[in-house]
Structure 1
Amino acid sequence: MADIKDPENTILVELKDGTVTIELLPEIAPKHVERMKELARAGAYDGVIFHRVIEGFMAQTGDVEHGNSGKGQNTRRAGTGGSELPDLPAEFSNIPHDRGTLGAARSQNPDSANSQFFINFKDNHFLNRQYTVYGRVIAGMEHVDRIARGEPPANPDQMLSVKVAADVA
């Protein structure tokens, strides 16, 4: 069990193997944290696949436009979209991209993050100050380690549900 200090800024991601608990960092990246909570509360992340999972690097998900395999959408295009909400400005910090940190996926434009994110499998310090860090896994990293690999994976794993801990009874 995770030691949840701030339920309003904690995300619970249900994967096939168990729950991943993510502590969000509102003092570091407030806009990214608010976006994740807004999309989680809307159910936008539920059923979204991990469309890019690179061994020894990271697992990427969060394409709420194309990556929902549970609602008949085209998963072959997963990774190309975001949400209906506007893109976010970069919130770079000195927080390093260590194993288990949550980073905002984006295009080459630093201010293009939207709904997609990745979880680092290992320390990826070459990403420091290039991609916004806005959370860290505090429990369940072993479940992240078991996500199917590929770009895209042949049989992609999905986030079964994504909830804000404060909303879970």
Structure 2
Amino acid sequence: MSFLRKFLAVTAFLAFSATAALQPVNAQAADPENTVVLTLKDGDVVIELRPDLAPKHAEQIKKLVRDGAYNGVVFHRVIDGFMAQTGDVEFGNADKDYNPGRAGTGGSSYGNIPAEFSKQPFMRGTVGMARSSSPDSANSQFFIMFDEGSFLNGQYTVVGEVVSGMETVDKIKKGSKSANGAVDNPDRIVKAIVLADRK
């Protein structure tokens, strides 16, 4: 192949690549009805709920979001390299009746949900449901993984995954290692919405 032909071929390839890079990625569109946006002090965290894995848990989270129940709720337990836990709408709301001594022990008026364990692994960005020692005790609290946690697989319900904003999750104030992640003056969820409701 002559130098001119090689030059034209490379130029055409680069032009095609540049054009392709400007095109939107043809990925499966997110379902706004099953997408939750948490606004934190450092930005938004977009969570894709997984009703295919945990329909009852996903529905309960959406009900609580639409009630405004998560607005002002703190990340009461945050362990560096592990996870950030929030969602105690009973005792963990910094704008209402916040009780640091009881944050992490409360739930919601909707009652507990039977376990919906799956084979979905706990990876960085996985959103899981917090619970007590009873598998069927998840209610309103959830946690976001900073890193993989295979020891949780099949033991806790995977309800979703962060699809955007993990850099914001990484900035959530960490808790004390000696106090199992308890956080003094913790960060909070400023506002939570279901994406389909955004105006």
Q: TM-score if structure 1 supplies the norm length?
A: 0.96
Equivalent in the alignment of 1:112: 137
**1:154 counterpart residue number:** 184
Structure 1 stretch 149-158 or stretch 5-14: which is displaced more?
149-158
The higher relative CO (CA closer than 8 Å, separation ≥ 6) is in: 1
CA apart distance, 1:72: 4.0
Q: How many residues align?
A: 167
Alignment correspondent of 1:81: 106
Task: For residue 132 of structure 2, give the secondary structure of its aligned residue in structure 1.
Answer: coil
**What code does the residue aligned with 2:165 have?**
G
SS of the equivalent of 2:61 reads helix
Q: Structure 2 counterpart of 1:137, which letter?
A: V
Does residue 136 of the first structure (1) align with residue 161 of the second (2)?
yes
Q: 5+ residue gaps in structure 2?
A: 1-26, 176-180
Q: Which has the higher helix share?
A: 2
- Asked whether the 8 Å contact 1:9–1:24 carries over to 2, the reply is yes
For residues 160 and 120 of structure 2, the distance between their equivalents in structure 1, rounded to whole angstroms, comes to: 10
TM-score where L is the length of structure 2: 0.82
Q: How big is the alpha-carbon RMSD for the aligned residues of Structure 1 and Structure 2?
A: 1.1
More strand by share: 1
- The 5 A counterparts of 1:7-156 are 7-150=32-175, 151-156=181-186
Bigger shift: residues 150-159 or 107-116:
150-159
CA distance in structure 2 between the aligned counterparts of 1:138 and 1:83, rounded to whole angstroms: 26
Which portions of structure 1, spanning 4 or more consecutive aligned residues, are displaced by more than 6 angstroms?
A: none
The Cα of 1:71 is off from its aligned counterpart by: 1.6
- 8 Å CA contact retained: 1:68, 1:75: no
Counterpart CA distance in 1 for 2:115 and 2:50 is: 14
Return the letter of the residue paired with 1:38: K
> What's the CA shift for 1:153?
1.1
